[in-house]
Amino acid sequence: MMTRGGFEPCRRRAALRRLFFFSGLLGATAFSASAQTETTADGIQIVQRQVRVTWDEAGDYRIYEILHARAVADSGVDHASSGPIPLVRLQASVSEARAIGGDVPLSRVVYDRPFLSIVEGDVPDGIFQIGITYVLPRESAAAEFVAVVPVGELVLEVAAGSVEARPDRSLTRVDDGGNDYRPMIRYTTGELAADSTVRLALAATRADWRSRLAVLLATATLAFVVGVRVWRGRSSA
């Protein structure tokens, strides 16, 4: 029987919720019974995959994910001895991929290109959560989300007003998320088969500091010119 390996899942899950509360990602959508497909591969199923695409301090794309997964007890797979359990496959250009919380100790969630996997020991009983984050270079043409194992539902949020993105046909826009300070455009899919890919075309439109400075100077210059013209007009009147 699979055990929780002695760690404290409730405390880790609470920490994960706090970590993502600021962005509203956990509030994006709730689990539904319809999302819990019975299809499995290697004894692991992603019930729901929540993704948020935003920016990091360096101007690259920062992506956060929460994976809601479960092991299938009657799959016949001995997780303790079957080697790494792949959760997601990331793009070749991804960097800084790591776990950031959840029901599995961070040391057991390992990124060995291209897979992010669980290693060494059992997985928790029932539905468990793993939070991950990674970076895509600013010049990336697309973000690709590959379903290594079947996914019951993919929920994708894109930072509105700063990340320009075009979803592929598998994504359907739903009610927007986030808040007044961090508005999000939200998409969702139905069930994804193993090895399927969802693609989000990207266009880096956020201005860097040089562009912002140029706009600021141009605006200030225009305001000065307009002011001078108004002053001259009044003086000649």
Q: What is the full DSSP assignment across 58-77?
A: TSSEEEEEEEEEEE-GGG--
Find out whether 56 and 62 touch, Cβ atoms under 8 Å: yes
Mean pLDDT of 185-213: 78
CA distances from 113 to 88, 89, 110, 130 (A): 10, 8, 9, 18
Query: Is this model's pTM higher than 0.85 or not?
Result: no
pLDDT higher than 50, residue 180: yes
Say whether 122 sits in a helix, a strand or coil. coil
| The two three-digit tokens of residue 123, written as one number | 């997985």
Q: Is 231 strand, coil or helix?
A: helix
Which among 164, 200, 160 is positioned nearest to 181, based on CA atoms?
A: 160
Which residues, in sequence order, are CB contacts of 183 under 8 Å at separation 6+? 159, 160, 161, 176, 177
pLDDT digits (tens, 9 = 90+) for 68-106: 999 865 444 444 445 788 999 999 999 999 999 999 999
Q: Residue 220: phi, psi to the nearest 5?
A: -65, -40
Label residue 211 by pLDDT band (50, 70, 90): very low
Judged by DSSP in three states, 228 sits in helix
Instruction: With a cut of 60, say whether residue 56 has pLDDT above it.
Output: yes
pLDDT in tens, 10-53: 555 555 554 554 344 444 444 443 343 333 334 788 999 999 99
Residue 114: its pLDDT value, please? Answer: 93
pLDDT for position 24: 47
Alpha carbons 13 and 19: distance in angstroms, whole number: 10
Rounded Cα distance, 222 and 25, in Å? 41
33 backbone dihedrals φ, ψ, rounded to 5° = -60, -30
Residue 138 to residue 164: CA distance in whole angstroms: 12
Q: Name the nearest CA neighbour of 205 among 91, 51, 59.
A: 59
Residues sharing a CB contact under 8 Å with residue 181, sequence separation 6 or more, in sequence order: none
